[in-house]
Amino acid sequence: MDAAGNLFGTTSDAVNNPLFGTGTVFELSGSNHQAFQTLASFSYANGANPIAGLTFDAAGNLYGTTMWGGSNGDGTVFELTPGTSITSSSASAIYGTSVTFTATVAPNYDSQPTGTVQFQIDGSNVGSPVALIGDTATYTTSTLSAGTHFISAIYGGDVNYQPSTSATTTTTINPIGLTSSTGAIYSITWSSGAPTLDVSAGTITLTADLSATSPGFNLVIEDGASVVLSSDQHIAALQLNGTGSLNVNNCAVFINYGSNSDPISAIAADLKNGYNGGVWNGAGTFSSAAAANSISYGLGYADSADPGNPAGLYRGNIEIMYTLLGDANLDGVVNAIDFGILAANFNKGVTGWDQGDFNYDNVVSAIDFGELAANFNKGATGTSVGLPAYDDPAILAFAAANGLLADVPEPTSLALLAIGTTGILSRRRHPREPHYPRAVTSTNPPKPGDRHCWATPLTTHVRFGGSRYEASLPPIVPIFKCITLNPFIK
């Protein structure tokens, strides 16, 4: 019994297993001695069968002996020292939520500890010393940064208790919106003041921007692991190792590399792997949304260091964006600005999407022109925001001058009508006999009785003086042939 009237004793399982019995030291406290607490358990290596009595010293340490166990199996002398332990309310918590750490000064052998506990997180004091209530003290915080933190408690001691420092417990703070598939393995570490989310296995889905947790996140995806986005991301670095993959889906990724070396070559290489010949399902940086609609959409990218910085990015930034094919400047719309970029680089070798290379072959060719023309004057959702390419004089003039008229999509309604005509309309796609249906627009589709005209071969006629690529200059388009649709043909 201690000074407070608490009872102490031992148990032994020697009856059932006399050679390898272990046993415990216990305390019965409370007004009726009904609160049972195990103070120590024996494992044979540190003793077994504590059948003799227990003794306190002046500092509150508790001593006893065991019959068996120890290095030679002949019993041990043991000491139980009052100490401080710490627990966390959560080993893994979401950024911004509160976590409570509880320090306990125990065991309480012959008196109640008093005094304060100083909590430390990652080796630094946090808050003021917390007074013990009973034998515990708590510290609650909701401001821990993302990553794994190491928490300990330092008890200052009192007249009966020596100061003591707890072991360390850990709590990992996860970014908002991070969900992991079964078997996914990841870590969040800090280096040079920035966190790194390293996904080493399985799939992680990010439903919120990592920058909401901490600006400057680095994202590393190891061989075989994958990350899926359902939210735009602002990060400092993106690194794919081996077959690690990033599914940008229908989102955008902004990489702020600042004054570090420009990572665009690695970013572009990962995108080209994901592009996979146009079906957007390769390893690397790909898009399941683009894979489902690869005729019209893809992942575009731009670097602030690119010539002219078409996407208008801040210095030291790269953008990857799910967008329409042809959206060279990544503003979500395919229009005359994008066409101007393509025209300026036509038939040239280039290094990026924002120079008009939408099919990742490092040249701006008829393929890129055709993709742009198909989406011309469309907004991000594919809705019309202006006249289509076949109604745009600048597009037609450029196409005529470069032998690309066959790459200008014809009006869908006109194509359907062509099936019922004498075949004249079907010849419109021949490069030497281009169509130019001035009377037809997306809001004024052709109908029986309409008059439609086709241009002659234009290559010898279309010139804009010294600057034929200026979209603002009207083209000279001679009319070759006109017909009136048969009013009896549906």
Q: Is residue 6 at the binding interface for Ca ion, with CB under 5 A as the rule?
A: no
Total binding residues toward Ca ion, as defined by CB under 5 A: 9
Interaction between residue 361 and Ca ion (CB under 5 A): yes
d(CA 10, CA 52): 8
Instruction: Tell me if 357 contacts Ca ion by CB under 5 A.
Output: yes
Ranges within 417-436 binding Ca ion (CB under 5 A): none
The residue (of 2 and 361) whose beta carbon lies closer to Ca ion is 361
Nearest distance from C-beta of residue 233 to Ca ion, angstroms: 21
Q: Is residue 359 a contact residue for Ca ion (CB under 5 A)? A: yes
- Choices 56-64, 132-140, 336-344, 380-388 (CB under 5 A): range interacting with Ca ion: 336-344
Coil/strand/helix, residue 289: helix
What does residue 380 show for φ and ψ, rounded to 5 degrees? -60, -35
Cβ closest to Ca ion, residue 222 vs residue 368? 368
Single out the segment in contact with Ca ion by CB under 5 A; choices: 54-62, 241-249, 366-374, 461-469: 366-374
Nearer to Ca ion, 347 or 486 (CB): 347
Told to check if 410 binds Ca ion by CB under 5 A, we report no
Shortest distance (Å) from residue 184 CB to Ca ion: 36
C-alpha span between 209 and 203 (Å, rounded)? 17
> Which residue lies nearer to Ca ion by CB, 298 or 475?
298
CB of 357 to Ca ion, least distance (A): 4
Q: For Ca ion, give the closer residue by CB, 158 or 361.
A: 361
Beta carbon of residue 464, minimum distance to Ca ion (angstroms, whole number): 22
CA–CA separation, 457 and 455 (whole Å): 7
Closer to Ca ion at the Cβ: 270 or 354? 354
Lay out the sheet containing 55-56: strands in order across.
Answer: 55-56, 62-65, 77-80
C-beta closer to Ca ion: residue 69 or 274:
274
Min. distance of Cβ 254 from Ca ion in angstroms? 17
CA atoms within 13 A on the CB side of 357: 21
355 scored as a contact of Ca ion (CB under 5 A): no
Helix (H) or strand (E) holding 337: helix 336-345
How far apart are CB 328 and Ca ion at their closest, in Å? 6
Q: What is the DSSP letter of 69?
A: B
Name the segment binding Ca ion (CB under 5 A); options: 22-30, 84-92, 143-151, 322-330. Answer: 322-330
Q: Is position 368 an interface residue for Ca ion (rule: CB under 5 A)? A: yes
| Beta-ladder partners of 245 | 226
CB of 297: closest distance to Ca ion in angstroms?
13
Kindly tell me which of 51 and 366 has the beta carbon lying closer to Ca ion: 366
Q: Cβ contacts of residue 423 below 8 Å, gap of 6+?
A: none
Distance separating alpha carbons of residues 197 and 195, to the nearest angstrom:
7
Say if CB 62 and CB 79 are below 8 A apart: yes
Rounded to a whole number of angstroms, the minimum distance from the CB of residue 311 to Ca ion is 9
Angle, helices 393-401/366-374, rounded to nearest 10 degrees: 160
What are 133's two structure tokens? 């209530």
329 binds Ca ion (CB under 5 A): yes
Position 379 contacts Ca ion (CB under 5 A): no
* φ and ψ of 130, to 5 deg: -105, 130
Question: Which of these ranges, 90-98, 244-252, 293-301, 338-346, lies near Ca ion under the rule CB under 5 A?
Answer: 338-346
Task: Verify binding: residue 152, Ca ion, rule CB under 5 A.
Answer: no
Written as six digits, the tokens of 350 are 């280039």
Which residue, 108 or 365, has its beta carbon nearer to Ca ion? Answer: 365
**Judged by CB, which is closer to Ca ion: 306, or 327?**
327
Residue 115 and residue 158: Cα distance in Å, rounded?
Answer: 6
Pick 398 or 436: Cβ nearer Ca ion: 398
**Residue 327 in contact with Ca ion, rule: CB under 5 A:** yes
- Does residue 331 interact with Ca ion by CB under 5 A? yes
3-state secondary structure of 234: strand
Position 338 contacts Ca ion (CB under 5 A): yes
Task: From 126, 159, 160, 125, select the one nearest 141 (Cα to Cα).
Answer: 126
d(CA 50, CA 14): 10
CA distances from 257 to 253, 267, 314, 315, 432 (A): 12, 12, 11, 9, 49
| 366: enclosing H helix or E strand | helix 366-374
Q: Which stretch binds Ca ion (CB under 5 A): 38-46, 239-247, 367-375, 419-427?
A: 367-375
Q: Please, which residue, 117 or 374, has the CB nearer to Ca ion?
A: 374
CA dihedral (214, 217, 223, 228) positive or negative: positive
Among 129-137, 245-253, 272-280, 358-366, which window interacts with Ca ion (CB under 5 A)?
A: 358-366
* Residues 172, 91 contacting (CB under 8 angstroms): yes
Phi, psi for residue 391 in degrees, rounded to 5 = -110, 5
Residue ranges in contact with Ca ion by CB under 5 A: 327, 329, 331, 333, 338, 357, 359, 361, 368
